[in-house]
Amino acid sequence: MNLHVVVGFGPAGAATARLLAAQGKSVRVVTASGRRPEPGIEHIALDARDAGRLAEAAEGAAAVYGCAAPPYHRWAGEWPALSSSLCAAAEATGAVLAMLGNLYGYGPVDGPLTERLPLAATGTKGRVRAAAWEQARKLHEQGRIKAVEVRASDFFGPGVTDGGHLAARAVPALLRGKPVSALGDPDAPHSWTYLPDVAAALVEVAGEERAWGRAWHVPTEPALSVRELAGRLAERAGTGPVTVRRLPSAVLAAAALFSPLLRELKEVRYQFDRPFVVDSRAYEAGFAVRATPLDRQIEATVDWWRDRLAANAG
């Protein structure tokens, strides 16, 4: 079976689909609105929460990659239907379900994050993400589906334009020589997962039977504070030194009145107010993908943003 179905075409879904196409796979992307086809990739429009239609789209697939996510402020209401549909499609077709997860499910912890930690989040978003994986894991243990999850920290790299991510806010600012704003402590160590490494890990574990049935952390370079990362980006951009400022709580509270994203980030502010460090040694001990060296991450990210801004200005 050469067909691979990618659900969602945000930064991670797009990177995964294009990696699979570059490997010569037949790729079908499922999104709510659809898109024009591109080399090696078929785009179809359907609501991925519709289990029957998703199963039809995934018929004959070797793997289904769960890369979609509801709008941030609608997670509680929409994640359960989406995750149930992904599981149903995997069961109906026999395709491996490779889920893209995050680190919310652990909740606040002391020390590095490992896959051995319990999914003990008390916030709504953390519980929703934990429940999605627990549903898939239980079905895997029952022999009804084949499932695996890879968990990433905050995305970083070319293609990441979501306003909630540092790269989407910091790089355009520093390219213009402007200060960078930090949501929390700008000197707290924080892990940043490079987007191409996310796609590479998803594709690798989908094809490795020994990876199935559990979650893995995407290989991630050593943690850097917002100040350190902004400094490295500014150095590459030739606009340093850069000023990094912590957004005052009062400013965040006022902005949250008008921004659903900022309102929802309140639940996970602990990730930026204290060290948030990912341990990916378990993955690295068993599989081939490694984190892209930081210098290459920095170079590719700055160059991508410089080209993007120039194109938009032209």
Query: Which residues partner with 4 through β-bridges?
Result: 27, 63
Mean pLDDT per 10-residue interval, the chain, length 314 residues: 93 97 97 90 97 97 97 91 98 98 96 97 94 98 98 93 70 88 91 97 98 98 95 91 82 67 78 95 98 97 92 79
pLDDT of residue 70: 92
Strands 146-151 and 41-45: unpaired
Rounded to the nearest angstrom, the gap between the alpha carbon of residue 162 and the centroid of all alpha carbons in its chain is: 11
The radius of gyration of the chain's CA atoms, rounded to the nearest angstrom, is: 19
Q: What is the location of CATH 3.40.50.720 in the chain?
A: 3-154+192-217
Residue for token pair 């896959």: 115
pLDDT, position 263: 73
| pLDDT in the model for residue 22 | 97
Q: Taking the CB of residue 285, how many other CB atoms lie within 10 A of it?
A: 7
Architecture of domain 3-154+192-217: 3-Layer(aba) Sandwich (3.40)
Q: Which residue has the tokens 């549909």?
A: 85
With a CB cutoff of 8 Å and minimum separation 6, the contacts of 40 are 20, 21, 22, 24, 25, 26, 27
Percent of the chain with pLDDT over 90: 76
- pTM to 2 decimal places: 0.95
pLDDT of residue 112: 97
What do you get for the CA distance between the two ends of the chain, in Å?
A: 44
pLDDT at 151: 98
Number of neighbours of residue 136 by Cβ within 10 angstroms: 27
Summarize pLDDT for 273-312 with one digit per residue, the tens: 999 999 999 999 999 999 999 999 999 999 999 999 888 8
3-class secondary-structure state, position 138:
helix
With H, G, I as helix, E, B as strand and everything else as coil, classify residue 210: helix
How many other CB atoms sit within 10 Å of the CB of residue 290? 14
Helix locations, the chain, DSSP H: 11-22, 51-57, 75-93, 124-141, 166-175, 195-206, 226-237, 249-256, 260-265, 270-273, 281-286, 294-313
* Structure confidence by residue, pLDDT tens digits, 50-63: 999 999 999 999 99
Average pLDDT, the chain: 92
- Dmax (CA) for the chain in angstroms is 56
The CATH number corresponding to 158-191+223-276+293-309 among 2.40.128, 3.90.25, 1.10.3470, 1.10.10 equals 3.90.25
Q: Where in the chain is the domain with CATH 3.90.25?
A: 158-191+223-276+293-309
